[in-house]
């Protein structure tokens, strides 16, 4: 039996001058949530940010040392961007660690994502550790939190269908 659906929201904190921590509770077991973070066919369904974006490129080599590449395109507008990264640690279904670089942005971030399940709910905590306070501030000012919140709302809808 699935837990009762309640509206969860993204929590964003900045515990240090180089970190952004984003936390969201999802109504699904962590094995499904982990799969949604690592399987291209699922990633392309939810990791889109606000409405009106698509992901024409989603390449994942899920192994330690393996690379990934995501590219987004705004539908109807000539806007495109992407990120590239390398997996550093994979502990299914508990933890992912990767380093990523966003196209056209300075520096990189080490992203640690944990998946903690309790009573059929999974808490996803994504800790973004940037090279510097300046790089972290660029991420904060980009509106990233709005795109992540919209993506997690979409992820919850996708998880309900699995």
pLDDT at 85 over 80: yes
15-44 tens-digit pLDDT: 999 999 999 999 999 999 999 999 999 999
Which pLDDT does position 129 carry in this prediction?
98
39-77 tens-digit pLDDT: 999 999 999 988 888 999 999 999 999 999 999 999 877
41: its two tokens: 């066919």
**Are 112 and 129 spatial neighbours (Cβ–Cβ below 8 Å)?**
yes
Mean pLDDT for 4-12 is 77
102: its two tokens: 């966003």
Element (H, E) at 30: helix 30-38
pLDDT at 161 over 80: yes
Is residue 20 left, alpha or beta, with left meaning phi > 0 and alpha meaning psi from -120 to 50? beta
Q: Mean pLDDT across the chain, nearest whole number? A: 93
121-145 tens-digit pLDDT: 999 999 999 999 999 999 999 888 8
In terms of DSSP H, where are the helices of 39-143? 40-46, 133-141
Say which CATH topology domain 11-161 has. Alpha-D-Glucose-1,6-Bisphosphate; Chain A, domain 4 (3.30.530)
CA distance 107 to 6: 37
Per-domain boundaries in the chain? 11-161
């Amino acid at each position: 039996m699935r837990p009762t659906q309640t509206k969860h929201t993204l929590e964003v904190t900045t515990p240090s001058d180089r970190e952004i921590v984003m936390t969201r509770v999802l109504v699904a077991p962590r094995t499904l949530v982990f799969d949604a973070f690592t399987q291209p066919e699922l990633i392309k369904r939810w990791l889109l940010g606000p409405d009106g974006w698509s992901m024409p490129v989603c390449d994942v080599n899920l192994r330690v040392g393996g690379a990934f590449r995501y590219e987004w395109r705004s539908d109807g507008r000539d806007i495109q961007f992407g990120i590239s990264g390398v997996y550093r640690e994979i502990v299914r279904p508990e933890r992912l660690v990767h380093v990523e670089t966003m196209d056209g942005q300075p520096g990189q971030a080490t992203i640690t994502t944990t998946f903690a399940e309790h009573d059929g709910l999974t808490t996803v905590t994504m800790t973004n550790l940037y090279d510097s306070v300046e790089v972290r501030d660029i991420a904060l000012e980009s509106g990233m939190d709005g795109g992540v919140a919209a993506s997690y709302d979409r992820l919850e809808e996708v998880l309900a269908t699995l």
